[in-house]
Structure 1
C-alpha cells in the first residue's frame, strides 16, 4: 500500500493506493475543514422532547444535533432510563464531540461519549470497557493485549476504557503504556480547558490530514508515504520519528518532474469517480446515482455476451460488479442506504456466490457496513456509516441551470410554458386598456425556435390576444429561463 499526500494552497488531499488502484481519497480544505473528532463546549439551545434530542450551539454555522441515544449512559439505573428533558435544559453547558459533519441542510451530529484516538489506542473517558479491533484475529494476541491494558490502566490510575487499534497487533506493551499516558494528559488538558473557556468554543481539534493519515494507516504494510510539500514532510517525519521510528524512512518527499497526483494517475481517477457510469473489465458497467434518500447502483451487462450460457455471463458480471461496488462506495464515500440492483439470477447458488463476494469486498472498508440478503425483487440493501460528505457533495455543486435535476426541459416544453405565461399576463390587464406590446426575453436557442419551428403558433397567439409580441435574445439566460415584459 502507498499513501500520497498533496498539500496545496488552501487544500490538502490524501490518497490511499493498493495494488496500483486508488481505494480512498480524503480532502481537507482550510475554509471547510471537517469537524469530525473535534470536541466543543456547547450550549443547549432547545430540547425536543418529542424527538428525544436537542439542538446544541457549538459555534459552527448551524446548530448541531444531539440525540439521547448518543449521550453517555449513566451508571445509575434510574438516570439511565430517564428522558432527555430530564437530563438537559436550555442554556446547559455540555462537552460534546462531532461524530458526523453537517450535510446539506442538516447540522452536525454530536455525541457526549467522547473518544480520543492515538496511534495504538482510542481512549473513551466515560466508557469503562476494553475492546480489541476485530482485525486482530489471533486469540493469544487478543488476550495479551486485553490483559496488558487492563493491568496498565490500573497501574496508571486511569478511569475510562480503551479500544485497541489494528496497528497495535504485536506491539510492545511499553509503547502502548506511553500511548495511554499521552491520552491521559490530553484528557486532563481538555477537562481543564472546559472549565475556563466560554461556551461555543473548540476545546480539542483533530490533527491535520497528513498526520491523521500516518496515525491511522502507517503500518509495516505501507511501502511508502509520498508528500509533495517540504514543510508538511518535515512535520510528518517528526511525527513518525516520535511514534513510529522504525517506519520513518518510508515517509518521502516527492521531487519528481510531474505533480504527484498526476504522476500516479490520481487526478484522472478522481474525475472518473465523479461520473455516474463505471465500466467493468468484462464489458458491463455500473450506474451509480446519489439522491437525498439513498444511493442506487444498477448493474448492466453492456456489451459483454460471454462465451458460455446466459447464466454464466450474468454470474461473471455480477461477481465483478460486487468487487467494484465495494471499492466505489469507499472511494466516493457513499453512505446511508445503498440499494444494488444486480442482474437477475435464477440459480440460488449464484446468488450466494455474489453475496459472499460482496461481503468479502466490504470487509476491507474501514467504515461500518451492514449487508442484507437478496430481496424478492432481486435487490440487495447495504447500509454504510456516513460521517462526512460524499466526494461528489464535497467537490461539486448542483447545476445552476437544472438545479441539480440532471435534466433540462426540452425547447418545446419551455416554449409552451412561455405561451401560457403570455396568455396569463395578457388576461391580467384591465379590460379597457388598449392593445399592449410584449417583449419576450429568452435564451438564444429559445428565440431561434420561436422564429423557426414555432413561428406560426406565436403569430397565431399574437393575433388571438391582439397584441404585438417582440423577441430579444439574452446570451446570459439559461435554456429554461425567460421573461415577459409589458411595454
Structure 2
C-alpha cells in the first residue's frame, strides 16, 4: 500500500496529513493554545462536589473545570462499599491527581480520571488501576497466557494493559518497561508533593508524538517535512526500530507543502456540510453537541435498473465514503447514519460490512451496534479531542450555530411592527437602512405596501440600501424628508 505523511510545522499552526493509496485519509491540525490535553496529568483542586450525579468538578488550570466521576477514582475501584457517594472520597479544596481522558468540547470541560495510565511501547501501566487486559488482536489462548504472566509481576493495587507490541516481541521487554513506568510514577508523586494545585505534572500530547504513533501504526512509507529540525527529531524517534521502514524527505519549496500536495483542497472539502459521491449521490453531515448525523441522498443518481439496486449501490458507495470522512474529520462519540431505506436484512448486512472494512485500520476504537427499527445505523467512535470542523470553525454570530437565519420576510414584517410603535406623529420622515431583499419584501410589487403604510402613518419612509450577506434592517433616524433624502435613497 502506498503511504505518505505530509508534515507542515514551519509556522505556529502545526499540521500533518496521512495519504493512503493516493487519498488523504486523515488531517490533523494543532493551533497555539489549542493543543490536545489527552494523556496530560495534573495536580487538580476540587472545585465542587455534586452528590446527585456522584461526580466532582476539578480545577486543572483551564477555562472550564474538568469532570471526574466516582467510577474513575482509585479509592472507589478498590473499595468494597456497595453504595458509596462522591462525598465520601472528595471535598471542595482537596487536591487530587488526575489525567485527561477527553479534551473539552463545546460547552463541556475535559473528562478526567483519577486512574492514571502511563504508556510504554509494550505495556500501559496503571499504578492504582487494579485491572489487567491484553490486546484484542491476540487470540484467546495467548490472552489468557499473558494475563496469568503479568499478574504475577503486579502489586495488588496495580493494573496493566499488554499491547500488541509485547505479544509480537515476546521475551521480557515488558518487565523492563514496568520498572521504568513505576519509577516515572514515583517521580510524579514527588513532584505533586512540591507543587500547589492546579499544576501540570506531565504533558503528553505533542504533534510529533502523534506523528510517531502514525509511523508505528502504518509501518512503512514516505515522510515529507518542511522543517529540517523536525525531520531530524522524527528520524531519531525511529532509531532502534528496524521493523519500521520509512524514508524521509525535506521539502524546501516556496509553495506551502499542503498546497503543493493538494491537501488544502481536501481540507476545504472536509469542512463542508455536503459531500458529493462519484455517482452524483451525496451525504449531508451535521455535527451537534450530542452526536453526529449523516444523511444519505440519491441526488442526481437514478441508476439504470430497478430502484432496489439503485438504493443498494448508493448505500454501498456512501458507506465507504462515510468511513473515510469519519477518519478524515475525526468525528467521535455517537454517530447516526440515515441510509436510504433498504427492504431486506441482507442488503443492510452488505452496507455494514463495507463500513466495517473501511474502519478496519482506524486509529480510534469504533463500534457499530446495527440498524434501528427505523433503519438508522447506530455506531460510536472514541472521542478524545475536537473534530476537524470543531477545531477550525467558530459559531456564526448571526445564526448562533443553527445554520439558519431569519428570512427577509420575517424582518420586513418586524420592521412594519416597529414603525407602528415609533413616534411618527412628531416627524415628517424616517431613514431606514436595510438590505435590498428586506426592502423588496417590505415594499411589495410596485411599492403597494410602502404607499399604504406611508398613508397610514402620515410619514415618508426613506431607504438606504446596504450590502450584507444576511438580511438586515435598522431604523437610523427621524427627521424632515429633505434632510433624510440626502442620506438615503428615496424610492419615489
What is the TM-score normalised by the length of structure 2? 0.87
Match of 2:426, SS state, is coil
Question: Does the alignment pair 1:470 with 2:462?
Answer: yes
* Cα offsets for 1:385-420 (capped at 9, x unmatched): 322111111111123333333234333332122111
- 1:328 and 2:325 equivalent? yes
SS, match of residue 340 in structure 1: strand
Counterpart Cα distance in 1 of 2:320 and 2:242: 36
Which of 205, 208, 223 lines up with 2:206 in the alignment?
208
| Equivalence for 2:488 | none
Determine whether 1:387 maps to 2:384: yes
2: CA distance, partners of 1:441 / 1:32 = 40
Q: Which residue in 2 is equivalent to 1:406?
A: 403
Work out whether residues 167 and 219 of structure 1, in 8 Å CA contact, stay in contact via their aligned partners in 2: no
Q: Which residue of 2 aligns with 1:118?
A: 120
Aligned to 1:441: 433
Aligned pairs for 1:412-451 within 5 A: 412-426=409-423, 434-435=426-427, 437-443=429-435, 446-447=438-439
Partner of 1:104: 106
Matches within 5 A, 1:221-260: 221-241=219-239, 244=241, 247=244, 250-255=247-252, 258-260=255-257
1:52 aligns with 2:50: no
* Residues 72 and 158 (structure 1), Cα distance of their counterparts in 2 relative to 1, 3 Å cut: closer
Secondary structure of the 1:110 match is strand
Take 2:324 and 2:229, find their aligned partners in 1: how far apart are those partners? 32
Per-residue CA deviation, residues 145-183 of structure 1 (Å, 9 max, x unaligned), is 5566456x46xx896222233344422535434433332
What 5-or-longer segments of structure 2 have no aligned partner?
480-492
CA distance in 2, matches of 1:83, 1:479: 53
Matches within 5 A, 1:456-467: 456-467=448-459
Residues in 2 aligned to 1:198 and 1:166: alpha-carbon distance in whole angstroms: 38
Q: Give the drift of 1:126.
A: 1.2
* Partner of residue 174, structure 2: 176
Maintained 8 Å contact 2:66/2:110:
yes
> In the alignment, does 2:190 pair up with 1:192?
yes
Aligned-residue RMSD, C-alpha:
2.9
Give matches, 1:60-79, under 5 Å: 60-72=62-74, 74=76, 76-79=78-81
Deviation at 1:322, TM superposition (A): 1.6
SS of 2:293 mapped into structure 1: strand
| Counterpart residue number, 2:483 | none
2:467 paired with 1:480:
no
The residue correspondences of 1:219-298 to structure 2 (distance < 5 A) are 219=217, 221-241=219-239, 244=241, 247=244, 250-255=247-252, 258-298=255-295
Distance 1:11 1:449, change over 3 A: same
Distance verdict in 2 for CA 1:86–1:159, change over 3 Å: closer
**Range moving further from structure 2, 328-337 or 475-484:** 475-484
- Equivalent residue, structure 2, for 1:337: 334
- Whether the 8 Å CA contact 1:119–1:215 is kept in 2: the answer is no
Q: 1:105, 1:75 → 2: CA distance?
A: 29
Compare 364-373 and 95-104 and name the one that shifted more. 364-373
Compute the displacement of 1:38 (Å): 1.0
Q: How many residues align?
A: 477
The whole-number CA distance in structure 1 between the counterparts of 2:156 and 2:223 is: 35
Mapped to 2, the partners of 1:373 and 1:141 lie a distance apart of: 30
Instruction: Give the direction of change, closer, same or farther, for the CA distance of 1:30–1:148 in structure 2 (3 Å limit).
Output: farther
Deviations 1:35-68 (A, max 9, x none): 1111111111111111211111110011221122
Contact 2:42–2:199 (Cα < 8 Å) also in 1: yes
SS at match of 1:43: strand
Task: Identify which of 10, 19, 36 aligns with 1:34.
Answer: 36
Unpaired stretches in structure 1, ≥5 consecutive residues:
none
| Larger deviation, residues 163-172 vs 4-13 | 163-172
Quote the residue 1:137 is aligned against. 138
Contact 1:408 1:480 in 2 (8 A): no
